[in-house]
Every structure is written in structure tokens, then in C-alpha cells.
Structure 1
Amino acid sequence: MPSEPDGQDSRDLPEESSGLADAALTTGALARRLGVAATTLRTWERRYGIGPSSREEGRHRRWQPADVARIEAMCRLTAQGVAPAEAARLALAGSPSTPSIRESEAAQQPLGPGSASGEYGELPLGQVWPESRGLGRAAVRLDAGAVQARLRAAVDTYGVVVAWEQIIAPTLHAVGRKWATSSECYVDVEHLLSWHVSTTLRSAVRAPEHEPLLPPVLLACMPEEQHCLAIEALWAALVERGLPTRIFGAGVPVEALESAVRRIGPCAVVLWSQTRQTADLSVVRALLSLEWGVRGARSHPLVLLAGTGWRSAVHEQGAGRLTGLASGLAVLESLFRAVTQSSGAPPGPLPADG
């Protein structure tokens, strides 16, 4: 875990640690508590004059309880749509309990279903890593810069698999649950977070210039499936390990998918379905019936089904299942090892067993 700007490790000092209401906080600790980037707090101080009221000689600046109350008020106001400059002015005008702050919050409360109950509040994250909680808070505030920075830091620090399973996926699931119970209030949060997750997965890893001389894994969504973040995470994890892969994204027509399989000759085809409505077994059967190569040495694709849409589907003879990113990646790594051993191809960056 990279150190925060004040030199403290967030695993040693989780977001609510160091942490009682009456204790002074460093900028890094306060950033974790609020779910904002430390650079955001410094920018607010520089631009709007809202920051620690004092600094001891030779020590890091400490946010006293009154300073924390002001910055919390500013965060609440900006989350409700108040411009940062105006939010800072109101926060500096008095404590969060003063009438001016309360009246401003009421005036900025979004109209619509559930607005009176504070819909845009904490996500139902449960027991998660501090990084997931911070990402959720940044997403709820629609703080694109903080969302992007937290996602990139998670992937750079932990790698794709851990970042996805421990930080990104729990946050996405919490936003989805909140959206389902809050009418349309969280559509904007879900779309912003999803876009930045996709952007991060695509930019955080780079395909090697020279792939191993092995048939790739082909990753595709079902023809009617538009949700593809999880399959993008699998792509990023494969690329991170230097394994050959091709991805076609959402809504691939079955004819195009069949053509690509014949042209590429993949060692496996992973079909992603997030909903029952898109889990079409006829597409699976069509792929299983494909073959290529010279007569006497025909090859058939290994079809692997991934995603919650397949849970209630009847098991199709010849098709396997992938469950979870880490376990699915392990299956594909084992497949690459088997292909390497049978073909005699150079192993390249393939990991060792175990």
C-alpha cells in the first residue's frame, strides 16, 4: 500500500482510525476518513482558505475538531451540488450546527423521490477495505478526479485481481443495490463509476509487444449483453500476466463471434452473461459445433461460461464454468500451461504452478 502524502500507511491507519472525534488528524488521515484525495484537501485550502487552523513547528499540520467540522460541512454541500467556492464560504461562516449551514443544505437538497431521506449518503458497503469505502464516497460526490485517482492507486498497488475483488466490485455492487432501492437517484453515480472503472482497466495495463506463441483466449459478452466490466477485468488480469487474449466487449453478434473463432483459433472462448435474459444456450451450442484446421487435425473451441446470468442455465455438455476473477484466471493459466506443454511452444511469461 503506498504511503499517503503525510507518510502514514492507510492499512496501519484506516479511515476512522487515529480517529476519535476529539483527536487532531493529519491530512492523510482526514482524507481517508472523508473519502477524498489528500490533494483535494490541499487544493481547497489553497483556493478557498479552508484548512487546518494551526501548524506546530517542525511537524505535520493537524486538523483540529473545528477544522474537521468545517471540511465535513463543505463535503456535504458539494455532494449536494453547491459550488466548491460557495460551499467553502458557508462552511467557514460557522459550525455545521449554525442556521446558515442547515438552511443551505435544505435549499440544495435535490428534489425527487427519496430526497428527504438523504438518498445520496453512505453506500451499504458493509465490512470492506478502507479503499472501497473511500472510492464509494468519491463516487457518490461525483468527484471524477478522486474516483480516477483511487482506482488507479488500487490497481497499481494491489494488481488487477485484488483491486477488483476487494475494492472495485464491492463498490459497484453497493451502488447497484442503492440504485435498486432509490428509484433513479443513483444512475449518475453508477454511470460515472463504471466509466472510470473501464477507463482504469484499459489504461493501467499494457499488452506486451511480443505475446507468447500460443492461441489466445477470446473474451466476449453474449449478443444481448451490455454489461462488460467484469470481462474487462479478466482481460486486464490476463494482459497483466502477459497472456495472449482478445476482447470484443458488449453485444457481439453471434455471426461475428463465430467468424472470429474460426479466424483466431482460440484456446478458449469465455462468454459473459450478467443477466438470465442474455444467457442464450443456443449461442453456446453454435460455438461448440465450430471446428477449424486441416482434415485429420480439426480443433474445437473450449467454451467457458462466466457471469451470474448462467447460474440458472442448464449445464451444456462440453462447456465449462468460471466463477470469480481469481479462480477463473487460475483456470485459464492452467489451460495455457497445458497448451504450452503439448505444443512445445516457448513458455514466455507463463507463471509457475502454485
Structure 2
Amino acid sequence: MPGASGAAASTASATPAARSAAPGAAARAGLPVPPRSSAPGASAAVEPVPGSTTAAADGPAADGVPVPGATGTAPPALTEPGGTPARPDALPSPGTPPAQAASPHPAEDARRELRGLARAAVRLDGPALDALLGDFVSRHGLVAAWEEVMVPALHAVGRKWESSGDRYVEVEHLLSWHVSTALRRALPAGGAPVPAAAAGAPPVLLACVPAEQHTLPLEALAAGLAARGLPVRMLGAAVPPEALDAAVRRTGPAAVVLWSQARSTASHALARHVAGTAFGVRGARTRPLVALAGPGWAGRAPGPGLARPNSLHEALALLTALYP
């Protein structure tokens, strides 16, 4: 889809009908929804990354924009991609600020929120979008808001764009901007408490691969990491290889997350290079973990030093484990 800077989500769900929608505007906008794993407690080496686990059938339209899941039952926000209860390390810690604490039953709220978001987006009502997104984040937490509301709403608008002859571009742009704003506003004033293990620790480096413009999933991951008090550096869209290499050597990161929305942008050679980059003092040199994020990396098993998280929950658990 033209334009939408930092848009985020695609539609690869478990149902053929949902898969058939993947080439639409939502996919072009960078909205990854990974397929669900069939195994309980699926590991990080499955499919791409921060995205949604919601894959219900589209329900009644709101002002012409279909609302995903409006006629079905959305999966609980605190589950792994296979529908099994979330691992303890995927749940908020006791010290998580109220704005990040998640409700165990946000499905009904999510469906109401989707209808409201669709109507507000079609009306180009920015203040309403801010209020709706902010309220859901404050009540159910950042991860639930991303997986149960933000990605499905962007997908719904993308589906409408695809079926309406390139109309609603302005709707998708506006919604993407306000989702990005809500992610940045999700953090508590003054920042989150920093865990002892993260004090002075190397950061997680987030970057889109060269020629990749879709940053919104990385923004969700950055917000989730910062909410846990973990150090993060966001390099943004289309980072040149030389700049990425320089950033890795200068920051000595614990992990590097590389986002690729399409196979045409995924550079496995670049990922291997980053995974093999050593830094530190002689005799104690180390290398970063490289997380391959996004549907562009699908089709190959991760090699040594590489991981492929399957959801926002998994990405946060994978990276949080680096700060024991």
C-alpha cells in the first residue's frame, strides 16, 4: 500500500480465507500476523515475530470497514501462538506499572475497541483514535493492545483499501500514525524501573534491513522492552549495512533484531555477518544474538547465533532472558 510510514501487519492466519487476503494493503503496509504453532509452548524458531495472534473471521463492517473477530471469539491475549497458557516469562512482572499490566479477558473489550477504531479512522477522528487506543493500553497492557486491537484494526483497514479501488489510503495513514503514537505513549512517566541485571548492560539493537521501510512492529517491540526497563536502541527503517555494522561495533549489543517484511528485502548474508561480529576486549570477545523478525525471513531454519521469534510475546521473552 502506498505511503503509510511505519505501518505494521499482514494476514497469514490458520484459515484459507484469511491467507487469501495476505497480498492486500495490510500486507503491503507491513502487518505481520504469524501462523499459529501447533505445539504447546512453541519455541522461538518458528515464523516471524512481533505480530498478532488474532485470526478470527471478519465480522460486521463499521462504516464500511470490516472488523476482524467481531463474529468470532478472539483468543485470550495472554496465550502463546498455539493457544496454550502464556509462559510465566511472558507475563508482566509484579513490578510492572499499571499501564502495562494485562487483563486476562480483553476479548470483549477488543471487539468493541475494533468497532470504535474503525469508525473513528473512517471519520479521520484523530482525538478519538488517541482516546480509544490509550484507554485499551492502560486497561489491558501493551502486548494485548498490539495483538488484539492494533494489528487487527490495521488489517481491517487494509482489507477495505484492497477491495475499494485504492480508497481509504488516508484512513490507513492516520490509523498507523496514531498506533505509533500510542506505542510511544505507553511507557510510564519517568521510565520503567531498571532490573538489576540490566543496569549498565548492553542494549538490544532494533533495525530494519536495507530497503525495508516498515517500522511499526519494531516500535511495538521497543515499547515492550522499554516497559520492562531493558536498554534498547532503535535505528529505524532501511538501515544501510555499513551503518548497521558500525552501530553493532560501537554499542556491543546483547541482541540485534532485524526486521524484514518481504523476502525481497531479507538478507541472510547480512544476518550471518551481524551474528558473526565479535566485539569486546581481547580474550573476552562476544557476539550478539540476532533475532530474525518479520515474514521476509520465512522459509529457512535459523542458523548458528540466529533466532526467529514467533510473536511479540516470544520476542520479549527471548530478549528478556538475556538479562537474567
Q: TM-score, normalised by structure 1?
A: 0.58
Preserved contact between residue 67 and residue 118 of structure 2 (Cα < 8 Å): no
| 1:125 counterpart = 2:42 | no
CA displacement at 1:284 relative to structure 2: 0.5
Q: Does the 8 Å CA contact 2:180/2:219 hold for their aligned counterparts? A: yes
**DSSP 3-state at the match of 2:171:** helix
Give 3-state SS (helix, strand or coil) of 1:278's partner.
coil
> Are the structure 2 counterparts of residues 119 and 243 from structure 1 closer, same or farther at C-alpha, using a change threshold of 3 Å?
closer
1:166 counterpart residue number: 148
Q: What secondary structure, in the 3-state scheme, does the structure 2 residue paired with 1:190 have?
A: helix
Q: Which residue of 1 aligns with 2:175?
A: 193
Match of 1:249 among 216, 236, 246: 236
Cα deviation code 1:14-62 (max 9, x no counterpart):
xxxxxxxxxxxxxxxxxxxxxxxxxxxxxxxxxxxxxxxxxxxxxxxxx
Matches within 5 A, 1:200-219: 200-206=182-188, 207-208=191-192, 212-219=199-206
State the match for 2:161 in structure 1. Answer: 179
Residue identity matched to 1:273: S
SS at match of 1:277: coil
Q: C-alpha displacement at 1:313, in angstroms?
A: 4.2
Aligned-residue RMSD, C-alpha = 2.1
Does the aligned pair in 1 maintain the 2:114–2:153 contact within 8 Å? yes
Contact 1:119 1:182 in 2 (8 A): no
1:229 aligns with 2:216: yes
In structure 1, what is the equivalent of residue 121 of structure 2? Answer: 139
Equivalent residue for 1:16?
Answer: none
| Structure 2 length-normalised TM | 0.64
The structure, 1 or 2, with the larger RCO (C-alpha pairs under 8 Å, 6+ apart) is 2
CA distance in structure 2 between the aligned counterparts of 1:175 and 1:309, rounded to whole angstroms: 22
Contact persistence 1:281–1:316 (CA under 8 A): no
Structure 1, gaps ≥5 residues long: 1-117, 338-354
Q: 1:229 to 1:185 in 2, by over 3 A?
A: same
Report if the CA contact (8 A) 2:212-2:238 is conserved: yes
TM superposition shift of 1:167 = 1.0
Within a 5 Å distance, the mapping from 1:1-354 to structure 2 comes to 121-127=64-70, 129-206=111-188, 207-208=191-192, 212-313=199-300, 315-337=302-324
Superposed displacement of residue 261, structure 1: 0.7
Matched positions, count: 220
2:65 is paired with a residue whose SS is: coil
Q: Give per-residue Cα distances to partners, 1:120-166, cap 9 Å, x unaligned.
A: 61324233521122112211221111111111111122111111111
Contact 2:225 2:231 (C-alpha < 8 Å) held by counterparts: yes
Amino acid at match of 1:319: L
TM-aligned CA deviation for residue 203 of structure 1: 2.3
| Contact map agreement 1:124 1:178 (CA 8 A) in 2 | no
Does structure 1 conserve the Cα–Cα contact (< 8 Å) formed by 2:275 and 2:290? yes
State the SS of the aligned residue for 2:307: strand
**Residues 234-255 of structure 1: CA distance to partner in whole angstroms, max 9, x if unpaired?**
1101111111111111111111
Comparing 225-234 with 206-215, greater Cα deviation is found at: 206-215
Structure with the largest fraction of helix:
1
User: Aligned AA for 1:186?
Assistant: Y
Shift of 1:208: 4.6
SS of equivalent residue, structure 1 residue 243? coil
Q: Rg larger in 1 or in 2?
A: 1
Segments of structure 2 that go 5 or more residues without pairing to the other structure are 1-60, 75-110
Offset at residue 232 of structure 1 (A): 0.3
Are 2:63 and 2:118, in contact at CA under 8 Å, matched by a contact in 1? no
